[in-house]
Chains A and B, each alone.
Chain A
Amino acid sequence: MTTILVVDDEFLIADILSLALEDAGYMAVQASNGKKALEVLDREQPALVITDFMMPAMNGLELALAMKEREDFKRLPIILTTGAQAHIAQQNNHLFDAIFEKPFDVFEIIDTVTRLVGTP
């Protein structure tokens, strides 16, 4: 089963995304910030990461940079969801496979996930 990691400090958004992913047949795991996401990456070996930008401890940009440093994660697709500072995301768009501005359409994200990693 394809596992997707959802990273957001706002649990409601993480929950909504996870439920939609599970409805589509994926397995979803969650982390509330970038630092925790790195731990979950080691443990769960997901196929794709959906991350928020503005988070405590480690933000979405820092997470993406940390992943590119790691041999085992550098090729993992990353989707960024952002409610702010869209220009920072755009300047670093080489780090991300897709960027969604909040509030986003959940189904567009699911479609993008399917395009990037295939059907579950």
Chain B
Amino acid sequence: MGQIELKQLTRLKSGIDGLDVLLQGGFVAGASYVIQGRPGSGKTILANQVAFNYVREGGRALFATLLSESHERMFQFLSTLSFFDHSMVGGDIQYLSAFDTMENEGLDQVVKLLRREITRQKASLLIVDGLLNARTKAETALDTKRFIAELQAHAAFAKCTVLFLTSSQLNDGSPELTMVDGVLDMREETKGVRSVRRISLRKTRGSSALTGLHEYEITDQGFVVYPRIESVYNKPYLQEWLNERRVTSGVKPLDDMLGGGLPHTSISLLMGPSGCGKTTLGLHFMAQCTAEEPGVIFGFYETAEKLKSKAERIGLDFRTPMDAGVIKMVWQPTVELQLDRLGHQIINEVRRHQAKRVLIDSLGAIARLAMDQNRMVEFFTALTNELRSMDVTVYGTWEVRNIFGPDINAPSSELSSITDNLFLMRFAELNAELKRVMSIVKVRDSDFDPTLREIVINNHGLDLTKAFRHAEMVLSGSPTSYDRT
């Protein structure tokens, strides 16, 4: 019986973590790729970063331009990025202009020039910037195709990986794309006033890859790619996550209602309008963190300082544990935040901090970051399952718009099914008084006390009292008392 052996191709790491994840280990060594994107999409930065990372690993790179723009100008803007090191230029990384040769002698001579330079520089990475110019120079589309084919053949013979950069948007049928082994497409999209940059691998010959659109951004560290959470983390829901272990919610009556506390590996969703006590309930939960079982708070609204004083007002000390690092706060405003970046950050922080308790205030704010609401279920499934696999107890808040009224809009039925426990919080008016009301809607695979409770918050903390024994229609916001007899 013959066993099929899958040959592992040698990889040239891009050195950009997220991108290497998408490429499943890096570029295939000796293969050729087209990197396309409009001016400003960051192709040149990406290619330079790959080259510098490669040279730092001991490789040799050749950067050839078919553009009229001078290398000095390129170095000037690259010098603001941390990967760029001017002293390496001219050593293991060479920059050459083939513009003059292309203009005066044609594409054939460019191929000859580059072929000789690959040998002369002993380069195993060639970057050709300005394929669009080669296209304009070519008499027919066939000429560009030949240009790519010849260069590719020479490069492959020298075991040299080639990246062709172009600002044109070549469609799938164009001859250039049929030639190369892989295509990286970079684009900027706007949604409302927000703009999001996304990269996709449109073709990867001889290799699997994470397809689809993935967010990226250009920071002073250079190119950062955030693979779609659900494409990287795809653990299914495991039955073993359901176990008998319980942890305290930090609120005694709630523990009692839950029959002994929160299931250890679970995601609880706290739904309710602004001001009903979601964050307060979350703070009680986080106050249970210890040095052995630390926690992380991801906040978008309240800063660490605000949270500390908010806790103080209800008799909880957050200063000591936060200063000691028992509770870590990751605060960021939602402005210009990207969904997958945040997803990766949550997973990485929880892992790094070995957190056992996590408060996300709020999950609703994360959901609003999505460019495409259709993938929210996949995103949250991947995120929550990854968190469950790290053995954490999670609280997530979710604002609902209506303060009063009979309508109770769950985020969506699918999202509710992703969470293990669902707590509903409302305002209600009873006997000319505004009351906060809470009830447990769901606890996965467990009994619970479904009675409505009044949330009482004072400087000793939060309590849940049985206040609605003689009222009905409380959840509608306008309860009616019935006769006590």
Q: Interface residues, chain A, CB within 8 Å of chain B?
A: 9-14, 32, 53-57, 82-85, 88, 102-103
Contact = CB atoms under 8 A, between A and B. Distances in A.
Given A83-B75, A84-B89, A85-B89, A54 B95 contact: yes
Contact residues of A: prevailing secondary structure: loop
B72 A102 contact: yes
Interface string B100-129: 110100000000010011001000000000
Given A54-B90, A84-B90, A11 B72 contact: no
B96 A83 contact: no
A10 B113 contact: no
Chain A CB within 10 Å, residue with most, of B89, B99, B100: B100
Contacts of B120: 56-57
B103 to A, nearest CB: 7
Interface in B55-102: 68-72, 75, 86-87, 89-91, 94-101
A88 B90 contact: yes
Interface residues of B, number: 24
A56 B116 contact: yes
B72 A83 contact: yes
Interface of B: 68-72, 75, 86-87, 89-91, 94-101, 103, 113, 116-117, 120
Contacts, number: 61
A11 B96 contact: no
Contacts of B103: 11
A88 B88 CA distance: 12
Contacts of A54: 89-90, 94-96
A56 B118 CA distance: 10
Given A10-B97, A11-B97, A54-B89, 9 more contacts: A9-B96, A9-B98, A10-B70, A54-B94, A54-B95, A55-B96, A56-B96, A56-B101, A84-B91
B97 A84 contact: no
14 contacts: A10-B71, A11-B68, A11-B99, A32-B100, A32-B101, A54-B89, A54-B94, A56-B96, A56-B98, A56-B113, A56-B117, A56-B120, A83-B71, A83-B89
A56 B71 CA distance: 14
Contacts of A56: 96, 98, 101, 113, 116-117, 120
A2 B72 CA distance: 29
B90 A85 contact: yes
B99 A57 contact: no
A108 B308 CA distance: 62
